[in-house]
């Protein structure tokens, strides 16, 4: 491996490599100003219930990169802001079904720098069972 780097250094100048890396970084920064559309899984915390909803988002590259780099952060949305209904699953447990449009509006308010184009299927929330 040392011989390869010695051979490479003899034929390619370190200044050339530094300028090549700098040009790549500047090109990447210039591309971040464009508008992009991407698939993104929005992580939500709805009254303590953690869910992920797939969606299509659109925005400037810098804003999209900012949201992708916020690893582990979840949007907190109270259930009282959403339109929902109660139902029962096949086992008779109570579940909460959230209306997709109300969830899209709630997420759009919290992610105001990007546009939510569409939301995927919203998973149901199993209501915590309280035995009295």
- In order, the DSSP letters of 84-110 are EEEEE-TTS-EEEEE-HHHHHHHHHHH
pLDDT at 71: 67
Cα 110 to Cα 119: distance, rounded to the nearest angstrom: 15
Q: What is the pTM of this model?
A: 0.73
Domain residue ranges of the chain, discontinuous segments joined by +: 1-31, 34-126
Give the pLDDT band (50/70/90) at residue 21.
Answer: very high
R_g (Cα) of the chain, nearest Å? 23
């Amino acid at each position: 491996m040392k011989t390869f780097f010695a051979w490479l250094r003899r034929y390619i100048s370190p200044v050339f490599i530094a300028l090549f890396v700098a040009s790549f970084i500047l090109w990447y920064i210039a591309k971040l100003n464009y508008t992009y559309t991407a698939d993104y899984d929005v992580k939500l915390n709805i009254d303590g219930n953690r869910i992920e909803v797939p969606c299509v988002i659109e925005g400037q590259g810098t804003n999209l990169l900012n949201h992708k780099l916020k690893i582990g952060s979840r949007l907190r949305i109270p259930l009282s802001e959403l339109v929902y209904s109660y139902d029962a699953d096949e086992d008779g447990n109570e579940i909460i079904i959230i209306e997709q449009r109300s969830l899209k509006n709630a997420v759009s308010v919290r992610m105001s720098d990007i546009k939510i184009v569409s939301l995927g299927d919203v998973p149901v929330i199993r209501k915590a069972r309280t035995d009295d």
